[in-house]
Amino acid sequence: MFKVAVIGGSGLLGRAIVQELNAQSGWAVSATAFRRAWPGLTALDIRDSKSVDRFIDDTRPDAIVIAAAERRPDICEHEPLVARALNVDAVRAIANAARRCGAWTLSISTDYVFDGSRPPYLPADPPHPINAYGTSKLEGERALMEASTSSCVLRLPLLYGPIVDWQESAVTSLVPAIAASASGLPDGKTAVMDAWATRYPTYTPDVAVLIRQLLERRLQGVPVCGVTHWSGDEPMTKYDIALSIASALGIQARISPQHHPTDATPRPRDCHLDSSTLDAMGLGQRTSFAVAIKKTLDAFPWQGSAGLDGG
Ligand SMILES: NC(=O)c1ccc[n+]([C@@H]2O[C@H](COP(=O)([O-])OP(=O)(O)OC[C@H]3O[C@@H](n4cnc5c(N)ncnc54)[C@H](OP(=O)(O)O)[C@@H]3O)[C@@H](O)[C@H]2O)c1
């Protein structure tokens, strides 16, 4: 039995990983959550290193995937201690416990470790985060590699996929404004969308397949270590994403582009991650944005007429 622990199994990415790994025969998956410890998930606060030790001693995993984090840039900017506790100290605690029990660890990081001025970025390119989120995730990467050089960091860009709440992803969080802008609404306002920063929206079920493949290689004894990159291959601004969402929803939305950055928290312009190493290994899959966003929206329908009527 190959035992895998998924830390953060209740999150946007964690849920997709748990679903993918649970489908493998001969694999035993134990997943944790914090606030959303639904049946089947173990409640664990990763800021409590004793609880982390206990969880890892009890489950004795062969591999650990860390998908828990504070991933909201604005929260990290205003509450750096919160960001540090989750994105750095907790990663270190998990990595140390993993080393003691001989588990291999894969931790998820972000394209925001780069400043976005010279894309595309190779894993060896020097990071230069411009906000507290990117800084904390970079420190978390370093904490992981200090604990064990056989660990792996997987950097990812903007994620979207099956949701339980519109705000779970910066892609689906656009839906309410897009729907509210639909022409014909009495109070329909134009939705202004960023057309300055280029993003590479990446579908969580595709990432889950990649992580399963990396775990399989590890199980076969192939070393999987160091920093690696994976990314969707469709460059899109939020304006482009909004147009695509409106088309998937079949609505005549009023969307206008914003050509300069307006976010209070600085965000990089284009952090395209070069995924050629994993591509050359034949790993991963990429579902087109048009197909994946349609699936995502179909599975979590906008409250149809209620939403479009402003309800
Ligand atoms: N979302 C993106 O666009 C994006 C882009 C690039 C990289 N990433 C990285 O991808 C990874 C997954 O992100 P995500 O979008 O799936 O995040 P998410 O949806 O916000 O999920 C965060 C997870 O962390 C758990 N968590 C929060 N506080 C915790 C605590 N004190 N103890 C234990 N668990 C705690 C949450 O549990 P509960 O929900 O149960 O509280 C949840 O399972 C993160 O490393 C993130 O930095 C995300």
CATH number of the domain residue 246 falls in: 3.90.25.10
| Residue 44 near ligand 1, beta carbon < 6 Å | yes
Active site residues: 133
167, 302: one domain:
yes
In this structure, the residue with its CA closest to atom 23 of ligand 1 is 68
Q: Which of 7, 13, 165 to mutate to test the pocket of ligand 1 (most atoms within 8 A of CB)?
A: 13
For residue 307, the model assigns a pLDDT of 44
Answer whether residue 275 is part of any domain.
no
Task: Provide mean pLDDT across the span 1-10.
Answer: 98
| Residue 179 near ligand 1, beta carbon < 6 Å | no
Please give the mean pLDDT across all residues of the chain. Answer: 94
**Least confident span in 119-123, 162-166, 305-309:** 305-309
151, 177: one domain:
no
Answer whether residue 281 is part of any domain.
no
What's the DSSP call for residue 92?
A: H
| Residue 208 near ligand 1, beta carbon < 6 Å | no
The residue behind tokens 């990812």 is: 156
- Confidence class for position 187, pLDDT limits 50, 70, 90: low
| Residue 68 near ligand 1, beta carbon < 6 Å | yes
102, 126: one domain:
yes
Ligand 1 centre and the CA of 65: distance in Å?
12
Q: What is the pLDDT of residues 197-249, one digit of tens each?
A: 999 999 999 999 999 999 999 999 999 999 999 999 999 999 999 999 999 99
76, 173: one domain:
no
